[in-house]
Homo-oligomer: A and B are copies of this chain.
């Protein structure tokens, strides 16, 4: 029984620390650096690119001999300040959540347990099951619904649309594929403002992105439900097979919420699957102001959303909620012999999560979601969503009052699309100016909005899904946009008179 009995073989080694006390001290030092960084999230530039010298430190050649734990500690500590910026109160880019210090505790626990949640009967599974229960409750889905934590809405959308697809063929398509099916070509419908992950899911699933009809939007950037109805009728007449409507709660450019109740009515009348992309907007149900506009969610067949956006869970964590556990399982379940379950022992705990999605290896994302909801409760998490919406409304008043700024879209929730404009500039010059303002805000570390195109023109897009943002940050943002805008206009005027200048490289 003693390894030394096998004296002819080399001594056995492991990746565990040689000196546990030294490892423990290291971990505590790094943790202190991490908490220091968190305490300072509000300080310094929003975004600091990784300096060239440090880039080289991480882009070292592959090593046959390891650099050892002390060098690792140095590398990890040095990397801490060079994130995306989404932990800073003036990060307004795309739709990034800002994370929480509390989630660090969840991640320490998850790293120590190192669980795979593909299946089996172990502690982590009960945590994920409860997150599924909580999501059911939050969105008023029935007991017979099911859910799965995934990396984000992109994967969640694939899960939902595969179910909608395979249901059309009574699941025979799982075996036979789509190439030789008898049905007319499957087509789906969504608004022109929908996130690209929906078309991407059509592409991946073999339906083709053209099969996703992009329906025009109204002046609120919400899907035009009359145009939708017309498109369905025309497609049926032309021999296509409509199968799904994808509604949006929080569209990409302006955060629009489609008229979900009407979409549910149409889906019901036309016998189509109703999927809702609620990547960041769905969790608006936690706040009183948004809840009335999201009642249609509880009529959907499936809902995809992210915890790492407006619930501020650390990256990455999203969710797919499905009305019918049975259809969900029939779309993914396939348990070969080497994954077979058991009544007792470690292989119990049926059904396994692998029967509800594409992944068999699944880390313990559930713990940070559970922690966030349990620690803070839905009231506070909802109040923070309302707080972001109030900040966006406040920013709109600042823009409206400003002589050089215009809102270019309504504020549906938490997103302001605005455009800086100087007297006498043509639209192309204004486009370039707004792009450059965003780059300068980022490069100078003052704020990090993103850019987008609204009605064919560049806009500064300020998205607030950030529990650290205050109204004072809105005041500062407007001041800085104006300062940079004025500086660039002076430069632009100079450029007009000096056409071979640097500005052409912009």
Contacts and interface: CB of A to CB of B under 8 A. Distances in A.
A28 B28 contact: yes
A152 interface: yes
A106 B76 contact: yes
A66 B377 contact: yes
Give the residue among A12, A106, A209, A334 with the most B Cβ atoms within 10 A.
Answer: A12
Nearest to A4: B472
A178 B175 contact: no
B361 A316 contact: yes
Contact of A316 (B85, B116, B181, B315): B116
B93 A103 contact: no
Interface stretch (A30-38, A217-225, A421-429): A30-38
A190 B134 CA distance: 41
A248 interface: no
A297 B98 CA distance: 41
A390 B103 contact: no
Nearest to A63: B377
Given A2-B472, A252-B338, A24 B28 contact: no
Contacts of A199: 334
A474 to B, nearest CB: 10
A367 to B, nearest CB: 8
Nearest to A81: B123
A32 B28 CA distance: 8
A23 interface: yes
A98 to B, nearest CB: 7
Contact of A108 (B31, B173, B339, B342): B31
A37 B111 CA distance: 11
A344 B442 CA distance: 9
Given A35-B27, A104-B112, A177-B202, A376 B15 contact: yes
Contacts of A180: 185
State how many copies of this chain the complex holds.
Answer: 2
Contacts of A342: 435, 439, 451
* Size class of the contact patch on chain A: 35 or more
Interface in A1-46: 1-3, 6, 9, 12-17, 20, 23-24, 26-28, 30-32, 34-35, 37-39, 41
A124 B407 CA distance: 34
Interface in A326-350: 332, 334, 336-340, 342-347
Contact of A390 (B2, B9, B38, B179): B9
A73 B164 CA distance: 41
Interface stretch (A52-60, A268-276, A489-497): A52-60
Interface in A147-199: 151-155, 158, 162, 165, 173-181, 183, 185-186, 196-197, 199
B126 A58 contact: yes
A79 to B, nearest CB: 5
A396 interface: no
Given A87-B114, A154-B360, 6 more contacts: A23-B35, A50-B123, A59-B129, A116-B308, A154-B361, A338-B461
17 contacts: A49-B122, A62-B373, A63-B373, A76-B105, A104-B111, A108-B111, A174-B208, A179-B185, A179-B208, A196-B334, A197-B360, A200-B332, A206-B207, A253-B338, A318-B361, A338-B461, A346-B448
